Structure 1
């Protein structure tokens, strides 16, 4: 066969596909859809100062986590509960504590106050919105963040006096944040 005499115009040979196998196109589409879905998942991210390791956990919209610490004045445990509404959007839904006193909520204007007689605790239901939370770790307070059955004990993770910011972001935002550090 003489290749110099063969007409190679598209009209005579047909269009040439960039993708020789249609399954490859389907695979690329599936990977793109999964990457988009996974990248848009919500994370609660613990951002400590001084470039210490960042911790995070995945949550669904409406998911909850809690902050546990020992109150500095009353020296009793306090649990604050947060619901994730979306990016930069959390709501403190209630706080549970064992004693009344300085720095602990009690006023009816702050929410619905309930005495949990069987547990010997008090509970205040509230609806406080937050874009993010910031606090310093202190061994006296023994702060912990709890999500489902995982506890993040902040003092062993970050040390005494470290400023920690807690915020909600999408996974792709976390990836971009990781690239800039």
Structure 2
């Protein structure tokens, strides 16, 4: 019974290029962030997410960015907008995602941060490489090949 409890623990699993980069137990509110250089504006963007309250997906809680333009949030109806120094913040977005599917891009410097670790994905993987971030039971994360 104890083994089953361990094997069914909810975990976050990060995979890229056919390999598992990270697996770890998660609780509701577990934070992670995605940092990249915007492909049009060429300025940094950081999106802050958390594991949702039932540990079945992710909740986008805030976006930090440096310039206005195509593909960047601007509508006050999307959350609480304000400026802090050289950055704009949009908080309280409350967008839900069952899983995250990201692609390494040319010049985007895609970096994932979680559990106190940074994963500069652009340094290791070719542009176009799929990166997935998913929640699943520990047993599935351990046996999953792709």
TM-score by length of 1: 0.71
- Other-structure match for 1:134: 101
- Other-structure match for 1:123: 89
In our comparison, the structure showing a higher alpha carbon Rg is 1
Structure 2 unaligned spans of 5+: none
- Alpha-carbon distance in structure 1 between the residues aligned to 2:119 and 2:10: 18
Q: 2:49 aligns with which of 67, 82, 88?
A: 82
Q: 1:107 aligns with which of 75, 78, 81?
A: 75
1:169 aligns with 2:136: yes
Alpha carbons of 1:57 and 1:177: their partners in 2 closer, same or farther (altered >3 Å)?
A: closer
Question: In the alignment, is the contact (CA less than 8 A) between 2:23 and 2:141 conserved in 1?
Answer: no
- Other-structure match for 1:154: 121
More strand by share: 2
Question: In the alignment, is the contact (CA less than 8 A) between 1:87 and 1:170 conserved in 2?
Answer: no
1:64 aligns with 2:47: no
TM-score by length of 2: 0.87
Structure 1 unaligned spans of 5+: 1-31
Deviates more, 1:59-68 or 1:123-132: 59-68
More helix by share: 1
